[in-house]
Amino acid sequence: MEPEPVTLTTPRLVLRPLDPRDTDAVYTAAQDPDIQRWTTIPSPYLPEHARSFTEQLAPQGWTTGSMFTFAVCLPDGALTGALSLTMRLPGTAEVGFWTAREHRGRGY
């Protein structure tokens, strides 16, 4: 049975499956040297990396149950960051996240 993508909503944030509508925002955020330094994304981060992540890797992760990647958005839809749970062993996941520079330090 495939895991169903889930959207979580609070008054301040919406966590929804990352998808192709996020490509441009992911590419822009990933230009931040701190995101490149503290995550495992390619450097330099090119438009094709963002497309692959949002159009293939993130959706396939939900389909296979291997990785659950959320777009972390404001209620108006602005992307503040990304959060992934990557399954390592049954019942064990690695948590990875980044926050766009302009949204850091705001308690998201």
Mean pLDDT by 10 residues, the chain (108 residues): 82 96 97 93 94 96 94 96 94 94 90
Say what the pLDDT of residue 2 is: 63
Q: How far is CA 100 from CA 27, 48, 106, in A?
A: 11, 19, 11
Say what the pLDDT of residue 1 is: 58
Residue 4 lies in a domain: no
Tell me the backbone φ, ψ of residue 33, rounded to 5 degrees: -55, -30
Residue 3 lies in a domain: no
The pTM of the full predicted model, rounded to 2 decimals, is 0.89
Task: Look up the CATH number of the domain holding residue 27.
Answer: 3.40.630.30
Domains: count for the chain: 1
Residue 42 lies in a domain: yes
Can you give the residue range of the structural domain that contains 48?
Answer: 19-102
